[in-house]
Amino acid sequence: MTAATQFIDARVSRHIGTYSEAVAIPAGATQVVLSGTPGLRPDGTLPEHFAEEAEQASDNVCEALRCAGAQLSDIVQVRSRLTDRDDIDTYVKVRKDVISHRPAYVLAVVPQLIRPGLRLEIEATAVVTHTAAEQHE
């Protein structure tokens, strides 16, 4: 049987937020690496309100994971960038509604993203562990 992904709590993160200091990935697991994912709608438009943009970015992450054979609970690391520190509380609320486990996490405020008007992008790494039966197929 393949070992499960381990989320490690070194007792520092709990003073800042809901994340793990480290994640141990088992041998034989499949890693799925997502590029910076903005909150653009499928038609390329950007929601007017930041909360909607954050929700759309989360939906886009879910869809990319699904296409790669993974799901939200497989995420082991999230790297998010915002362009306005005033949006941090809103983003954290949306994130907590979407991700209920404790992946490794970083949140940065940057002056601008690649496309003018974008206020958020989310990168993620997911790990899909395989059962012994799957490995022998």
pLDDT tens-place string over residues 27-82: 888 999 899 999 999 999 999 999 999 999 999 999 999 999 999 999 999 999 99
Q: What angle do CA 123, 103, 75 make, to 5 degrees?
A: 55
CB 106 within 8 Å of CB 88: no
Measured from the Cβ of residue 22, the count of other Cβ atoms closer than 10 Å reads: 13
Integer angstrom CA distances of residue 46 from 80, 113, 120, 124: 17, 14, 11, 21
pLDDT at position 135 over 60: no
Answer yes or no: pTM beyond 0.85: no
**What superfamily in CATH does domain 6-135 come from?**
RutC-like (3.30.1330.40)
